[in-house]
Structure 1
Amino acid sequence: MTSVAVQSAPAGVLWDMDGVLIDSERLVRDAFVEVNSNGGPVPDAAQRYLETIGLNRTGLIHWFGQFVDTQELAEYWIDQTHYGYLELAKTELELKPGVEAALDHVRSLGLPQMVVTSSRTDVAQTKLSGLGVLDRFDRVLGGDQVSQGKPHPEPYLRGSELLGLEPGRALAVEDSANGVRSALAAGCHVLHVPDLIDTDPSWHGQLSVLPSLVEFPRWFDELGAAE
């Protein structure tokens, strides 16, 4: 666990969804690898998948442009991966450890919290509802509600605005490199909770790190106490 100094305790929390709240990234990765092992265009798929974490659909289409010649083909392979993920999710999708206690802790302090995800809003709401946590959030901001997705700062700038906060008063909780870059560029205090991607050494001194959300309530209280 590492923490960076903050000038004031966060007044609200912006949660990424996949890989932070929901243990879904490994399922998407497995579907991505399966698709690309059976005719898909991406070599070394397990490693290259890490580059896509945190991208919305527009970002994924652009990313696939290095492997296919048309947007139609890019969308085809994105959809094939999504169909594979949906099959796995029927039996394997679950919350990450510590999520419910972390969300309840923020609510107990009377602080607003919302989801800032690259998934479509309706898809995110369905996932969160199915896992019983949608009602913990004041809002859900999906990748379809911004013109530029992560790693651009727009998602976290917009999320802060929707909570009525300056970005510097908001805590962004992220697992992906694209998400971390988005939140840092927006000026949020950032907590990295690694999932498939380790903390980049270049982020040292710019963010805090926890191994899981199990430690979040105590860490968050200590953050406020150090103010």
Structure 2
Amino acid sequence: MTRSLEAVVFDMDGLMIDTEKTYKEGWLLGANALNVELPGTFINDAAGRSIDDNIKALQQLTNDLSIVMSIRKIREDYFYQNLANGKIPLKPYLKELIEVLKANQIKTAVATSSYKNRVSRVFEHYHMTSWFDVVITGDEVANVKPHPELYLTALEMLGVDHQSALVLEDSITGARAANNAKIPFIIVPDSSSEQVVEIPADFRHIETIVPSLENVAHWLIEKNLLKRCNQEEYR
């Protein structure tokens, strides 16, 4: 990574908002209602995977698209119910990190495989619209993660080159998209996940792994990529 940082691109689910527990519960709720047994591999692989890929995986399990769509509807209803009830919190230090990036005139973006309707509802709920210069969603590109298109599109919209940007991701699927785009990235594993993060040998563009968004700020300060901030807040 260069000594200059012009933009930070965020994933959304599992990184910015604590969604994965709700998603997991929603999948299981829907599957139980339709008498479908979901293997643990489906639940684990669903994180970071696109809507279409999850539907395809479910269809392979059930051989019945109508059952799949019923399961997904139950999961979606459960998600929005939890969102409305305040049961899907923002990740700690998200707002503080964005504020310090803005104070340093570093652009911010979101690149997520989630579709625009969900992203808009999440942003509206948390009043996040003004936090980001660019938001690109899964239904606005031809290919979602782990394909690099979401991240490459975000950089194009930001007007920033690869080595002046940094991606923040929680999942290996999302991190692979950043790696495929040749953008430096940090993995912040989702604390609600029981999976141990194993870094693939071909992840050439990974910078580090940190436990929280607070540690991202520490890392940026240590690398002299943040020049103006109240460092006491991040010690």
How far is 1:225 from its partner? 5.3
Structure 2 residue identity aligned to 1:83: D
Cα separation, 1, equivalents of 2:14 and 2:100: 20
Cα separation, 2, equivalents of 1:162 and 1:149: 17
The partner residue of 1:49 within 40, 43, 47 is 43
Aligned to 1:84: 78
Structure 2 residue identity aligned to 1:156: Y
Aligned to 1:3: none
Cα separation, 2, equivalents of 1:73 and 1:34: 13
The partner residue of 2:25 within 22, 25, 30 is 30
Distance 1:21 1:40, change over 3 A: farther
Structure 2 residue identity aligned to 1:68: T
Give ranges in structure 2 of 5+ residues lacking alignment. 227-235
Aligned residue pair count: 220
- Identical columns (%): 23
Cα separation, 2, equivalents of 1:77 and 1:199: 28
How far is 1:123 from its partner? 1.9
Structure 2 residue identity aligned to 1:97: P
Give ranges in structure 1 of 5+ residues lacking alignment. 1-5
TM-score normalised per structure 1:
0.87
How far is 1:54 from its partner? 1.6
Aligned to 2:232: none
Distance 1:62 1:109, change over 3 A: same
CA contact (8 A) 1:15 1:172 kept: yes
CA contact (8 A) 1:125 1:140 kept: no
Cα separation, 1, equivalents of 2:199 and 2:213: 21
Cα separation, 2, equivalents of 1:100 and 1:41: 39
Cα separation, 2, equivalents of 1:42 and 1:10: 46
Aligned to 1:132: 127
Cα separation, 1, equivalents of 2:94 and 2:127: 11
TM-score normalised per structure 2:
0.85
Cα separation, 1, equivalents of 2:96 and 2:48: 24
Higher relative contact order (CA 8 A, sep 6+): 1
CA contact (8 A) 1:156 1:167 kept: no
The partner residue of 1:105 within 100, 103, 111 is 100
How far is 1:23 from its partner? 0.9
How far is 1:134 from its partner? 2.2
1:111-133 CA deviation, whole Å, 9 max, x = no partner? Answer: 11111111112321221231132
How far is 1:38 from its partner? 3.0
Q: Which moved more, 1:82-91 or 1:98-107?
A: 82-91
The partner residue of 1:201 within 199, 202, 205 is 199
Distance 1:136 1:225, change over 3 A: closer
Distance 1:225 1:158, change over 3 A: closer
How far is 1:158 from its partner? 0.9
Q: Please tell me the root mean square deviation across aligned C-alpha atoms, in Å.
A: 2.1
Cα separation, 2, equivalents of 1:72 and 1:37: 15
Aligned to 1:60: 54
CA contact (8 A) 1:101 1:217 kept: no
Structure 1 residue identity aligned to 2:94: V
Cα separation, 2, equivalents of 1:32 and 1:214: 30
